Structures are given as C-alpha cells and as structure tokens.
Amino acid sequence: MKNKSISLQTLLKSVLAILLLLSVFEACKKTDDPVVIPVDKSKLKARIDSATAIYTAAVEGVQVGNYEVGSKATFKNYIDAASIVNGNTAATQSDATNAYANLGVGMTNFAAKRVQEIAAANLILYLKMDGNANDASGKGFNGTLKAGAQPMSATVTSGTTTAAVSWTGWGGSATNVPALTKDRYGVDGKAYTFDKGSNIEIPYNSVLNPAKELTVAMWVRPTRIWDNNYVLSLNRWNGYKLNLQGANKVFMTVKTAPGKIIDKDNDSPTLDVNKWYHVAVSYKSGTMTFYLNGTPVKTWTDVSGDPYAVKSNINMTIGQDLPSNLYNLSTDNDADGNVFYGPWGGFFTGDLDEIRMYNVVLSDTQVKSIYNAEKP
C-alpha cells in the first residue's frame, strides 16, 4: 500500500513537471524575436558594380562609341536607385528583385544611346554644298545646278481632246540657278538658296531608289510657306519626295506599289520661316519616323510595303519636283504613270545644306549624333 502511494505521488510530480515545461515553452514562444529570413542581394550588387563600371568608362559625344550627350545623368539615376535598395537593411527580397530588374532596364536604355557606326556603303548621297553640288559619299552622284522651268507652251491631251495651253512657268530665267549663300553658322558660300524652280539635278541611278529602307537628313531654312514646297524628289509621287506643305510641316511621300502611295507629315510642330532646322525622315515597311533637330517628333506605324522600284530613269531633283526639261512634255504618262504637266508641280523657296541619304533606317541615336555634330 505504501509503495502504491509513492508511485501516485511520483506520477503527480511528473505531470506537474510536464505542465510546467509546457507553460515555459508557451511563454518563450510569445516573447522570442521573430525568425529573420536573410535577403540575398548578391545579384543586385553584381549588377550595380557592372553598371558603375560601364558608367565610369562611358564618354559622351557624337563620335562612334560615344554616348548621347545627357544620357549618363539618366543612367546614373538608375544606378543610384539600385544602390539605395542595396544599402537599405530593411529592404525585402522583393525590393532587391525589383531594383535588379529596374537597373537592367536602365542598362539596356543606356546601351541604346551609344553611337553606332554607319557603314560607308549605307550612305548613298551626301551633298555638303561647300561651294559646289558634288557628292561626298564616295558614290559619285554629283549634282548639276539647273535653272527653274521657263515660260512655255504645251499640247495637252485628255481623252480624245487635244488643246494647246501656255503658262508662265516659275518666272525664272536661264540664269536662275541655285545661288551660294550663308550656312547655319553664318559662313558665306557654304549652302545654297533656291527659288522659282532653281534646282540641283542628280543623274538617275537605281542606288538612289533603295529597295527596303530609306533615311533622308538635311538642314532646311524655309523662307516661304506654300502648298508645293518641294525639297527633294525622285519622280514625284511615283518614287519618293520630301516637301513642306501649306502648314509648313515636313511631309514625306513614298510609293510602295502601283496605286499605293504613303503620305505622312511630322504632325507637330510646324516650322518657322527664316530659321534653320535639321530635318530627317526614315522609312521602312511598318514605320515612318520624322525628326526635328535630332529629336523624333512623330512615328507612323500604319504604313506598309517596300519603296517602289521606279521604272523611269528620271533624274533626282533638289529644290524642284521634276527636272525642268520635263515640264515641256504633255500630260502623257511615263512608265510609272507620272504626269508632266508643269502647273501641277512645285519648288522650294529657302536654303538647304548638308543633304544626306542612306539605304537603311538610322537609329534615334544615329540621327541625334548627326545633329549634334553639325548644329551651330
């Protein structure tokens, strides 16, 4: 009986001990600090180091390998934002992951600001206009100074009706050729001024009619606003043309197939008269982009088709829509369906300089680098 009593006491003591342990355990659970899961910032740190090295080595400028002026400051903002997260002890793993991704975006954007070389083969025409109309691209497409269309008469045929008409042309004369003038720097004899159809005529070559892509860039100073301010033309609307319309916006036409003509403008802003602008337009199927002073101002994506291969060997003209001698022809169509009736034409009034043409679409950075290299 005694042994049983001792056993019962021992059992009770054991139960009490277990209960005491359980109470202590519960107390510990309530008072201990929460478990901290370490944040892995190793990938973020490595990307910051890599981005910093790129930033430090980068040089801004307009030469190949340089980065667009002002792009380093933007890139530094990405690096600084990532560094703040990396140094924040309260940052979560989600914060580190997001910072890593955002810095990656900054690195990609900065890489796109690096000036890429434009292959010499892609420059198909370059008129410096430094005292002449010679081509500096190496392709040999030298231009000839031409007078505007002269007063003339023509026989016009429409259906079964033939009639003689006369008109006064542009009011030019045999000596009305482009004249040397001051360029955007104010230097004499380094640009040409155009009016009343005076133009530069460049012999036709299929190289000037790119099969897939096209970029035209030039310095333009309009001195008159009107509907048919033709700056550059290859067979009018049967090839491609660049002109300033009545609203004084840059306007580009590209024919892509028989009966299919793309007409677009830079949307905004309009150009002021008596002011120099760097104008550029690029085209490929799916995209036409307009630039003013190195900045893209409008991109159209509702365009399609490759530039049309013109059938007629009509010379390119700068300052007028067609070679002057073609205005003497009747309304009979050429192989591309062009009409050579003079009053339908137009000419540019103003100054032009540094005309470049490429058979590729230049990147935004490449256009900006040309502008930065040539701006006053």
Nearest to 166 by CA among 342, 41, 36: 342
Interval 245-273: pLDDT, tens: 888 999 999 999 988 999 999 998 999 99
* 124 Cβ contact list (under 8 Å, min separation 6): 137, 139, 141, 207, 208, 210, 357, 358, 359
d(Cα 131, Cα 31) in Å, to the nearest integer? 89
Looking at residues 125-150, what average pLDDT do you find? Answer: 93
Query: Percentages helix, strand, coil for the chain, rounded to the nearest 5?
Result: 30, 30, 40
Domains of the chain listed by start with CATH number: 42-112 (1.20.1270.90), 120-374 (2.60.120.200)
Please report the pLDDT score of residue 157 as a whole number: 43
Cα 219 to its chain centre, rounded Å, is: 15
CB 328 within 8 A of CB 314: no
Please report the pLDDT score of residue 311 as a whole number: 85
Enter the tokens of residue 209: 């009619």
Average pLDDT, the chain: 86
Please report the pLDDT score of residue 49 as a whole number: 96
Please report the pLDDT score of residue 80 as a whole number: 96
d(Cα 333, Cα 260) in Å, to the nearest integer? 17
Please report the pLDDT score of residue 343 as a whole number: 58
Interval 332-361: pLDDT, tens: 667 777 777 655 678 899 999 999 999 999
Please report the pLDDT score of residue 17 as a whole number: 59
DSSP structural state of residue 128: -
Please report the pLDDT score of residue 236 as a whole number: 87
d(Cα 309, Cα 262) in Å, to the nearest integer? 15
* 231 Cβ contact list (under 8 Å, min separation 6): 218, 220, 242, 243, 244, 318, 319, 348, 352
Per-residue pLDDT at 202 exceeds 60: yes
d(Cα 353, Cα 160) in Å, to the nearest integer? 46
